[in-house]
Structure 1
Amino acid sequence: MLITNGTLITWETPNRILENHALYIEKDHIREIGPTQDLIAKYPHEERLDAKGQYVMPGNICAHTHFYGAFARGLAIPGPAPADFPEILEKLWWSLDKSLSREAVYYSALVCLVDAVRHGTTTLIDHHASPNAIEGSLDQIARAVEESGVRASLCYEVTDRDGPERAKAGIEENLRFIEYVKRERPLNGRLAAMFGLHASLTLSEATLQTCRERVGEDIGFHIHVAEHPVDEYDSLHKYGERVVDRLNRHGILGPRSIVVHAVHVDVREINLLVETGTWVTHQPRSNMNNAVGMAQTEGMLRAGVKVGLGNDGFSNAMWEEWKAAYLAHKLWHLDPRRMPATDVVRMAIYNNAALATQQFNCGPIGVIAPGAQADLIFVDYQPFTPLTPDNLPWHIVFGFHESMVTTTIVAGKVLMRDRELLTLDAEKIAYEARQLAPRIWERYHALF
């Protein structure tokens, strides 16, 4: 396929903006870039997709999300509003996840994937929980991923909070799915697997040891860390050490593992994250919503931590997460100089791209360059001031909106063209989800 008449935002290092350029896509990857007329002359008989002067750029990447949380939208939490994050976990998430069936797992993924395709998010790293529907739950999400055409990495959240049998079942679900992905390499590299863990405060020494023993060094862990101080105090009380130290002792950290949030880690923990090459993901909208504070994100980046940007189950409009990161740190520190857009780009573009490239092992992701995966979006943005590689980050923060995404392509396949979804029936999916939601909510309220 030949994409013509685009203004390319390559996100190379350094970034380039190329007007009236074309992309030649061969199967799932970009083969060649050049001026539109040159490539038309070179490939006169190829199928063409006219970008009509729109910006053509790599699709957005979400480094941490929860598809399973979709049915929380509009759900009323019984009794008084939760006073802190531990109460939010108890009253909302640990009850909602128990209310999910396999069918609900499938539709919770589908509604999130509709949102992702519409809003230009082409790669997502998910973290799943459904204690009453563990076995085969990752297959249900993978089924939704296959139908949507997006790229996703999946894992199941192992925890001791629901008893030893369910902890064991979670371990087996991770291992089964990891082996399936290794053996079959399904969806032509669009599917990856990690080993999911909930958080230190719900994981015993025995469970952590078992997980480490059962998982090969080539597989990374995906775990929440110090989102709230309770995680640190729980670890200090039970084990006499902070969370990151504990995870390091168990061999959970490493260059393929993801630590989520890390809001309340100290300097030594940051140094351990650097020394082990562990990834960290930042989710500012979730942190604000849960009132847990703001991670030392700028300091982590300065120290050498590989910090990416996720959404923790919020909408898959990742530019909204950019804006939240850009604004929240300024307010948190009472300093408008904090969190420049260049730091947001470092997380959301370059670090997320490096993480995704590592996860899927099918060539570069998140860049327009020969050999890179053809994960692309068209953006109908009409700037009224000059747009350059230097000021693009601020154009995105203050000007770009998810409604401007008109076309979404993953691995060379068009998933949305001119705002029309081609792989998913959004109306039917929303209808089916609405039929399921009352039953899920009924099971949820029955737990109180």
Structure 2
Amino acid sequence: MLILGNGRVITRDAKEPFLENGAVVLDGNTIQQVGPLEEMKKAYPEAEFIDARGGLIMPAFINVHEHIYSSFARGLSINGYNPKGFLDILDGMWWTVDRNLTLHDTYLSAMATYIECIKNGVTTVFDHHASFGSVKGSLFEIEKAAKETGVRSCLCYEISDRDGKEKAKEAVMENAEFIRYALKDETDMIAAMMGMHAQFTISDETMELAAANKPDEVGYHIHVAEGIEDLHHCLKTYGKRIVDRLMDCKILGEKTLLGHCIYINPHEMDLIKETDTMVVHNPESNMGNACGCPPTMELVHRGILTGLGTDGYTHDMMESFKAANVLHKHHLCDPNTAWTEVPQMLFEGNAKIAGRYFKKELGVLKKGAAADVIIVNYDPLTPMHAGNINGHLVFGITGHDVTTTVANGKVLMKDRKLTEIDEAKVMADCRQAATGLAKRINNR
């Protein structure tokens, strides 16, 4: 057994949201008990003890929209890349990167991402992968990295016709094979979805192929109306709005996750709500790509299950929390907005989204929930209590303040040092692979 204690415990459990000096007791991969420090130490005297040293003890973070394949793009300069809009960004940067990835690059990209996730306190990731240079086996390379690092992962491959019908078919089959594999997994650490890029790169024929190879147990993970070009394409090509097309293709549903949803209207929101489809907001990516600000606050107010992701822009969920908080205030010219909606997305929405794919309850510290816990180095300057937790978090911490990360009962990082893998060796391998990728891209 393991006790993490001597800190302020933020449980995200409405029955007892905050303990001034508490502890969390882990029994294998499950939380056994949460309570006052001295009571827990007395009840479990033989348990190993990790001292939070007065910091915060919290549920580990969940990221419901990642792009592992983008890891090696950090600092990458591509000859002739001078984007004038979102489509130029996609083709000039991201599709260029993914077309040049080898399977080993994919594996190392996953290792690099998972290392950063652990160091930022993220233990559950929903990834949306693309590597059209090497499609077959790519999800299994990511899953290999997930197992080695200990990060819970829901994976999919980005189906698209952008590189032709054969590549699109390969993408469908990669999803189908991995879904079959994941559905047999009994660890509750791996799940799968049928991934899709966006409707403007997917023909009806490919939509039908994906549907024919998707088991009922899983849904789709697809970008929706990220750029205005996506909407214009759908109106011009199909005479309907994007969510209407997805509805007609039977893509919407409680297991389906829609990324972005910037250019959707109230009618489309009604369809999303009626079908209990999930949405994930990625604020920094939307701003960085100059795509616009989605009507996320309205989605939350309508009761649509909405989560927070990073789109690969960062692996620090607190960074995205901060960005979303100010984005919607700025966009709506309302200083009162986003105070409750954004933390609801991050701490409740993400947990509920994960709950549709993983059996054990995530995102909360209470008996029976998953043993996913982090310790954050934070000594509040002002009083901290159950009513002002989120204010302390948004203004007081970043992911780099995480000192200890526990996932599925396993200590992955302690005192900022990874315990399960040789970080220096992995990062050296990643640097070598990233250099090779950059040379291939610029010598093509």
Is this a same-fold pair by TM over 0.5?
yes
In the other structure, the counterpart of 2:135 is: 134
Q: Match for 1:349: what amino acid?
A: F
State yes or no: 1:387 paired with 2:400. Answer: no
**2:52 is the alignment partner of 1:47:** no
The 8 Å contact of residues 173 and 213 in structure 2, kept in 1 or not, is answered as no
Compare 50-59 and 258-267 and name the one that shifted more.
50-59
Amino acid at match of 1:431: A
> TM-score, structure 2 length as denominator?
0.97
C-alpha distance in structure 2 between counterparts of 1:6 and 1:113, whole Å: 26
Identity, % of aligned pairs? 40
Q: CA deviation at 1:330?
A: 1.8
Partner Cα distance (2:435, 2:18) in 1 = 48
1:48-74 Cα distance to aligned partner (Å, 9 max, x none): 222222211001110101000011111
Q: Distance in 2 between matches of 1:289 and 1:98?
A: 22
> Match for 2:416: what amino acid?
R
Q: Secondary structure at the match of 1:406?
A: strand
Distance (Å, rounded) in 2 between the aligned partners of 1:414 and 1:308: 26
Distance 1:54 1:303 in 2: 36
> Which 4+ stretches in 1 moved above 6 angstroms?
none
Matches within 5 A, 1:14-413: 16-79=17-80, 81-185=82-186, 188-340=187-339, 342-361=340-359, 363-413=360-410
Distance 2:98 2:120 in 1: 26
Asked whether the equivalents of residues 99 and 441 of structure 1 are also in contact (C-alpha less than 8 Å), the reply is no
Shift of 1:338: 2.6
- Contiguous gaps of at least 5 residues in structure 2: none
Query: Structure 1 residues 33, 247: CA separation in 2 closer, same or farther (over 3 Å shift)?
Result: same
One-letter amino acid of the counterpart of residue 372, structure 1: A
- Aligned-partner residue type, residue 369 of structure 2: A
Tell me how far apart the structure 2 counterparts of residues 42 and 330 of structure 1 sit (CA, whole Å). Answer: 47
Alpha-carbon deviation of 1:443? 2.2
TM-score, with structure 1 as normaliser: 0.96
Query: Cα offset for 1:22?
Result: 2.0
SS at match of 2:371: coil
State the Cα distance separating 1:14 from its structure 2 match.
5.6
Give the match for residue 438 of structure 2. 441
Answer yes or no: is the 8 Å Cα contact 1:5–1:52 preserved in 2.
yes
State the alpha-carbon separation in 1 of the partners of residues 404 and 347 from structure 2.
19
* CA displacement, residues 326-368 of structure 1 (integer Å, 9 cap, x when unaligned): 011122233322322x11111000010111122112x210000
Taking the aligned partners of 1:294 and 1:322, their CA distance within structure 2 comes to 15
Partner of 1:2: 3
Q: Distance in 2 between matches of 1:184 and 1:126?
A: 18
Contact 2:81 2:92 (8 Å CA) reproduced? no
- Number of paired residues? 443
* Distance apart, 1:158 and its partner CA: 0.7
The CA deviation string for residues 375-420 of structure 1, in whole angstroms up to 9 with x for no partner, is: 0100110111111222111111111122221100001100001111
Structure 1, unpaired ranges of 5+: none
* CA-to-aligned-CA distance 1:129-179 (integer Å, 9 cap, x gap): 011211110111011111111111111111111111111111111111111
Contact kept, 8 Å, 1:32 with 1:369, in 2: the verdict is yes
CA contact (8 A) 1:58 1:367 kept: yes
Cα distance in 2 for partners of 1:114, 1:417 equals 13
Contact in 1 for aligned 2:4/2:57 (Cα 8 Å) = no
CA contact (8 A) 2:5 2:57 kept: no
2-structure distance, mates of 1:137, 1:180: 13
Q: Secondary structure at the match of 1:158?
A: coil
Kept in 1, the 8 Å contact 2:160–2:196? The answer is yes
